């Protein structure tokens, strides 16, 4: 989990919206989708790395994974 101070600073690189810690239920859903081969990043690539934690964009339409405690803000997963 990221510190509240860091969360205050982080923004979506595409829209500049705030990011918040993703609910565990969403993380589990996305991991299930990944295991089923139905999870793709914004470029249309199949997500191969496990989804263990992440940040949800303020509008709820984008998920940024956190890997080894580091938010990955380069490619997001569209949430529908």
Per-residue pLDDT of the chain (80 residues; tens, 9 = 90+): 788 898 899 999 999 999 999 999 999 999 999 999 999 998 899 999 999 999 999 999 999 999 999 999 987 877 76
What is the span of the domain harbouring residue 74?
A: 4-78
Q: Report the number of distinct structural domains present in the chain.
A: 1
pTM assigned to the model: 0.89
Contact at 8 Å (CB) between 22 and 54?
yes
DSSP H helical segments within 1-80, as ranges? 4-9, 24-35
In this prediction, residue 3 carries a pLDDT of 86
Q: For 25, phi and psi rounded to 5 degrees?
A: -65, -40
């Amino acid at each position: 989990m990221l510190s509240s101070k860091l969360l205050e600073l982080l923004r979506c690189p595409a829209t500049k919206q705030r990011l918040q810690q993703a609910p565990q239920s969403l993380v589990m859903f996305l991991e299930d989708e990944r295991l089923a081969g139905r999870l793709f990043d914004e470029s249309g690539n199949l997500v191969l790395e496990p989804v263990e934690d992440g940040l949800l964009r303020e509008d709820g339409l984008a998920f940024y994974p956190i890997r080894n405690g580091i938010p990955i803000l380069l490619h997001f997963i569209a949430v529908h």
